[in-house]
Amino acid sequence: MTSTSRYAFIKAQWHADIVDRAYDGFVELIPAAQVDVFSVPGAFEMPLVAQDLAKSGGYAAIACAAFVVDGGIYRHDFVASAVVDGLMRVALDTGVPVLSVSLTPHQYQETEHHNAIYRNHFVEKGREAARAALMIGKTRATLAA
């Protein structure tokens, strides 16, 4: 367990206009000066980068944000499951909390109406990830005392 007050925020670039809003919510609770941001092509790349960051020992927690939608070519539910499973494995293997802000909507349509809904939702999910990062840090500090 690390005593650092730095946090990592990994964001997938698919639907970046939506995904980036999670960072906005995250830094409402954790100062941006304490957050290092890393971009990856898509959700599938997040676990590997999270693992590298966790092994560095430089972060109290790592938040990962992605928007996985049904593109008609691949099974988005398979991708989302693989990503979340990978992120959990990183957390358990390294002892560094890895928080998922990865959403997989069932009824997404690329319209301004849906995009606005999900942009707003990602802000709240970013806040939730920040709250979780802070809470788990306090809980683990209590356990270590």
Q: Choose, from 21, 75, 119, 131, the residue flagged as catalytic.
A: 75
Our measurement of the distance from residue 116's CA atom to the centroid of its chain's CA atoms, rounded to an integer in Å, reads 20
User: How do 61-67 and 35-40 pair as beta strands?
Assistant: unpaired
CA end-to-end span of the chain, whole Å? 12
Give the DSSP H or E segment for 11.
Answer: strand 7-12
Does 119 qualify as catalytic in the annotation?
Answer: no
What lies within 8 Å, CB to CB, of 29 at 6+ separation is 127, 130, 131, 134
* Catalytic positions, written as ranges: 75
